[in-house]
Amino acid sequence: MGQPIFGHSNLLAQQVVLDCDPKLVGDSLSIHLAQQGGSSAVWTLDVWVQIAQGEFFVGRIVTTAPSAGNNPSRTVGIATIPGAIGWSVQATCPTDDEAADLTLQSSRCCTAAIGLIKIGSSQNTSDVTIVGPSNLIDPWTNTFSTALANSFIVKAALGTLRNMTVRVDSTLATGTYYLQLWNLAALPADTTVVGAGNSLEAPTKVVHAVGTNDLVTYDFAELGIPFSAGCVLGISSTEFTKTAVAGAFLSVIGAEYR
């Protein structure tokens, strides 16, 4: 049975949460909307997913009204996110006299593209449109080092980092060093200060002994961590400012990004 939702000119958001046995929650969500026949009201549906690391926005569907030829009771969207353990939808509609029902159903078996698919159908037309953040749709790309260096550019443009494994080479002199992960297209100049605007996270401390390799793994889970300017790794002898370490001592074993 669906949950009643009502239009309001003040665009009050109504949250509908998938309510079922947790064992039945899967990677896929189907969204079903029932309106009055001939209604001209349009609903905006914001889809959210819960995974082990928290709750994340998936995408937005703006429906087509029954008055445009759609059946009043229909499936309007399918979402697929690996690792989903919960789903919810925030519904808004600017039409004051609109009364509808929204039903959410989850499945553990789905082969749809990752992200949010809008589905619209009528007696004469059918459309399927991928919507939502592009970083939930594009496949991951893997990159790696081909030589030792003191920095590594994962991507020199906007994107998302999923994970990265770094080796600090055994030839580096004994000492304390810091791996810095910059939200930049290239390694910054010395004395650049680590901050929220130019870095993806706080520097990682490495207490190194010559003759021993150190492995450091960054894991940002299934959805990854976004970067706006680029993603570049560097090694510094100081923690919260960049101080170049002379020589080539870093090797990226693998990095997944979009």
214: CATH: 2.60.120
Least confident among 132-146, 179-193, 220-234: 132-146
pLDDT (0 to 100) of residue 138? 60
Taking residues 174-195, report their average pLDDT.
97
* pTM of this structure: 0.53
User: Is the domain of 43 the same as that of 116?
Assistant: yes
Least confident among 73-77, 107-111, 140-144, 154-158: 107-111
User: Is the domain of 151 the same as that of 208?
Assistant: yes
User: Is the domain of 72 the same as that of 152?
Assistant: no
pLDDT (0 to 100) of residue 250? 98
Taking residues 232-256, report their average pLDDT.
97
Least confident among 10-14, 89-93, 102-106: 10-14
User: Is the domain of 159 the same as that of 110?
Assistant: no
User: Is the domain of 148 the same as that of 251?
Assistant: yes
User: Is the domain of 126 the same as that of 150?
Assistant: no
Taking residues 32-51, report their average pLDDT.
92
Taking residues 245-256, report their average pLDDT.
96
- Using CA atoms, how far apart are residues 235 and 39, in angstroms rounded to an integer? 61
User: Is the domain of 165 the same as that of 251?
Assistant: yes
In the chain, how many domains are there? 2
User: Is the domain of 148 the same as that of 120?
Assistant: no
**What is the residue-averaged pLDDT of the chain?**
88
For residue 222, give its domain range. Answer: 141-257
User: Is the domain of 17 the same as that of 131?
Assistant: yes
Using DSSP's 3-state secondary structure scheme, residue 81 falls into coil
Relative to beta strand 54-62, strand 126-131 is: unpaired
Q: How does residue 111 score in pLDDT terms, banded at 50, 70 and 90? A: low
- Using CA atoms, how far apart are residues 12 and 91, in angstroms rounded to an integer? 8
User: Is the domain of 12 the same as that of 111?
Assistant: yes
